[in-house]
Every structure is written in structure tokens, then in C-alpha cells.
């Protein structure tokens, strides 16, 4: 059972997703939570405090996601992390406006996003290196190729859900993960293909 503070944060996330962070009023949050504005003010002194609390939760979850880097030395590890990203970006759909806003009311949030996004790309790049060293991916044909691939994978991870939403197409986890794997498939070695084939039943279950 959630306490009132958690309920307020969850209701705010829902409203931020539907209307955007800037256009949600305290009255709406109070109505969604099922409490009075006075009660809301007792828990959070203003909207900025709510926004800050929402981002604290959001970044905590993102930190946990990043900490799942290479827990096991296999393709399934990346697949599991992809599932985590999918859940995350689906839960916090309002992130997209943050990424494109020139000025955020809370500047430290923008710098946090920037750091997390850079870490994501670095993780993907190092993952590729790891699978190259295991002989599952081809060695880099020309310098910088894998960095570009890492950036493309990052773009898919971050922007696949919004692009499907814009085009009113189904947002399913299976397609999301396949969209990412398709970036890497052309670079698989025979060993990589065999491994991928071997684990594909597990991937479809996740």
C-alpha cells in the first residue's frame, strides 16, 4: 500500500505523461490523488517540490537500470537491460519533452539527463567491445563505426516509443527489442549468430 506522498508522486507521473509537466496544476494532482489541495500542500510545499520528487524517483530507477551493465557475459544481459529501458521510457513518457526543452525550470535535471544519456551510449559502446572480444561481433571495419552504431542503438532505445506513438502504431516490447537487435545483427560473426540463435527462445520469453 502506498502512503500519501507516494500516491501524489504516482498521480503526478500519470498527469505529466498525459498533459506535460508544465501544464499540470496542483488542483489536478490533488483530484487525481483523491485528496484536497490543502492536504497536498501539507506533503509538498509547491509544484516544484513535487516535480523534484518525481525526478528523484525517476533518476533512482535510471541509476538502477545503468547498474545492470554486464551482470552476465551474454546477449541476454543486454536484452534484460533493454526490457528495463522499455519499461522505464514507457512509464515516464514525459521525458521526451525534457530532452528537447531548451530551458528546464530545474537546470540540474537537464544536466542529469545529459549525464545519463552519455552513460547509456558509453555502456552500449563498451558492450559492443565486449562481444567483439568474445568473437561474437566482427572487429570494427573502420574506426568509429561502432561508435556510430552505439549512437543509433541509443536513439532506438530512447526514441522508438515516441515515434511509434506519433504514428499511432502499437508499442510492444518485442518490437522494441528487435529494433535494437537489428542494429547489431549485420555485425554478428558465425559464433554470434549461433549464440543468438541459441538464446532466441529465451529472448522471446523475456
Partner 1 sequence: MKPHFRIDEVTYSHLLGRLNDLHVTDKRGTLPDFIFFHKDEWLADTAVIEELTRHKGEWQVNLVFAHTNNPMRFIRRQITSYSCPRKASLFASLMRRLAAKDQRGTQAISINDIFVAQN
Q: Which residues bind partner 1 (CB under 8 A)?
A: 52, 55-56, 59, 69-70, 73, 106, 108-109, 112, 115, 118-119, 122-123, 125-126, 129-130, 133-134
Q: What is the DSSP string of 121-132?
A: HHHHHHHHHHHH
Q: Report the nearest approach of partner 1 to the CB of residue 18 (Å).
A: 24
Assess contact for 117 and 158: CB atoms under 8 A.
yes
Residue carrying the nine cell digits 528537447: 100
Nearer of residues 122 and 171 to partner 1, judged by Cβ? 122
Angstrom distance (rounded) from CA 130 to CA 69: 11
177: buried, middle or exposed (CB in 10 Å: 19+, 13-18, 0-12)? buried
Angstrom distance (rounded) from CA 55 to CA 32: 19
Q: Report the nearest approach of partner 1 to the CB of residue 112 (Å).
A: 8
Nearer of residues 14 and 119 to partner 1, judged by Cβ? 119
Q: Report the nearest approach of partner 1 to the CB of residue 62 (Å).
A: 11
Q: Report the nearest approach of partner 1 to the CB of residue 11 (Å).
A: 20
Q: Report the nearest approach of partner 1 to the CB of residue 67 (Å).
A: 11
Nearer of residues 62 and 160 to partner 1, judged by Cβ? 62
Assess contact for 172 and 83: CB atoms under 8 A.
no
Identify the CA nearest to 57 among candidates 24, 32, 94: 94
Nearer of residues 108 and 194 to partner 1, judged by Cβ? 108
Nearer of residues 59 and 159 to partner 1, judged by Cβ? 59
Assess contact for 181 and 76: CB atoms under 8 A.
no
Amino acid at each position: 500500500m502506498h502512503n500519501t506522498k507516494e500516491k501524489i508522486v504516482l498521480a503526478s507521473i500519470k498527469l505529466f505523461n498525459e498533459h506535460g509537466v508544465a501544464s499540470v496544476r496542483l488542483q489536478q494532482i490533488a483530484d487525481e490523488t483523491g485528496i484536497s489541495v490543502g492536504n497536498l500542500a501539507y506533503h509538498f510545499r509547491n509544484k516544484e517540490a513535487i516535480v523534484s520528487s518525481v525526478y528523484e524517483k525517476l533518476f533512482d530507477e535510471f541509476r538502477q537500470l545503468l547498474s545492470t551493465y554486464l551482470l552476465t557475459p551474454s546477449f541476454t544481459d543486454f536484452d534484460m537491460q533493454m526490457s528495463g529501458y522499455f519499461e522505464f521510457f514507457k512509464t515516464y513518457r514525459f521525458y521526451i519533452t525534457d530532452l528537447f526543452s531548451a530551458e528546464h525550470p530545474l537546470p540540474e535535471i537537464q544536466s542529469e539527463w545529459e549525464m545519463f544519456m552519455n552513460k547509456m551510449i558509453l555502456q552500449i559502446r563498451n558492450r559492443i567491445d565486449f562481444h567483439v572480444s568474445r568473437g561474437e561481433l566482427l572487429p570494427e571495419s573502420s574506426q568509429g563505426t561502432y561508435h556510430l552504431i552505439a549512437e543509433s542503438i541509443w536513439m532506438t532505445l530512447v526514441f522508438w516509443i515516441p515515434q511509434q506513438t506519433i504514428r499511432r502504431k502499437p508499442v510492444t516490447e518485442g518490437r522494441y527489442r528487435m529494433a535494437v537487435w537489428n542494429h547489431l545483427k549485420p555485425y554478428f560473426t558465425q559464433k554470434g549468430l549461433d549464440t543468438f540463435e541459441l538464446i532466441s527462445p529465451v529472448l522471446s520469453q523475456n
